[in-house]
Amino acid sequence: MVRAVWLGLTLLGMVLSVLTARTAPTVAAELSARSAPLFYVGDRIGKNLKAAAYALVDRRRWRQEALALERQVAELKQENLRLSLENQRLRRTLKVRESQAPGVVAIAPIIAEDPSGLFRRLTLGLGEADGLRVGMPVTSPGGLVGVIIETTPKRAVVRTVVDPESAIGVRPADVPGRGIARGRPPASLRVRFPVEVEVKPGDLLITGAIGGLFPEGIPVARVTRVIPPGPGALTYDVEARPVVRFSMLEEVIVLRRL
């Protein structure tokens, strides 16, 4: 539409300019004097139409340039966001290496997770060729993830703390005592304590088994509910939610076996 208008205005301007330029000198002097305003008006109209046509072309070009600049700004914002996220990831990795080294074996990407819902297991993009072995603890900056239970040269499978086959020795972070946490998929644990150990909702549970698979003191879960023991019971159970959000994990830290 804009191109058609521009062509029409340009053609009209050229016709008027040619007519006024060629006709004015050839008419009689008296007629020329009387018709001079008409030729002047025609010439001005032609020039104005040409100027308007060029303005339309310039406006279209400016609009295209503005759209191109908007696309460049959007691309730069996206790249800046990507770099910011990568910087955060590298900072987390450095923090973990500083706090857990020399126990860190590898920082491994998560490439898949168990889709069945019966188990909560993760597949890592590193394996035996990268130094990973069965029995190695797996953590994250937030807390305990689980333990490696299978390996291939390029892959490893992690049994998470909420897997139904998981059993971890834990203790309350602020009071004496120990218990056993067992996984309850999809996202909780059932922890059994002796009745002498006093815990309450909100308490943090950390690894604490003597001679267990995991280093002591890694955050595992927070107590969400205490189930009162029955008469004469020697133990009681609590429900807890893991501190790690497994669905949000992109990579994990693999530690040496104890």
CA distance 242 to 223: 9
Per-residue confidence (pLDDT) for residue 59, from 0 to 100: 73
Tell me the helix, strand and coil percentages in the chain, rounded to 5. Answer: 40, 30, 30
Per-residue confidence (pLDDT) for residue 39, from 0 to 100: 53
CA distance 157 to 166: 14
pLDDT one-digit tens code per residue, 37-60: 555 555 666 666 666 666 666 677
pTM of the shown model:
0.61
Q: What percentage of the chain has pLDDT greater than the value 70?
A: 69
